[in-house]
Structure 1
Amino acid sequence: MGINMPLANHKIGNRQSAIGNRLKLAGKKVLVIGAARSGIACAKFLVARGATVALNDGKPIEKWSAEAVALQDDGVGCLPGEAPSWLLDNIDLVVVSPGVPVNCIPVRYAERAGAEIIGEVELASRFLKGRVVAITGTNGKTTTTALIGELLKDAGLLVQVGGNIGTPLITLVEGSRDDGWVVVELSSFQLETIKEFHPSIAVVLNVTPN
Structure 2
Amino acid sequence: MEKASDNVSNIHNRFSLTLVNPASHYFSLVGSLAISAVITAIVYFGYLGSNENWFRIPMVIGILALTQLIDTRFTRKKEYSKSLHASLFGNLLWVAVLLMGLLASVVLVKDASLFFVTYGMFLFASFRIGIFTTTLGASIKKAWAICMVQPLAMLLVMIPYDMWYSTLTNPMAVGFGAVFLIIASVWSVLTDRAGRPGMESTHKTIQA
TM bucket (normalised to shorter chain) is: under 0.3
TM-score (normalizing by structure 1): 0.25
Answer 1 or 2: which has greater helix percent: 2
Q: TM-score, length-normalised on structure 2?
A: 0.26
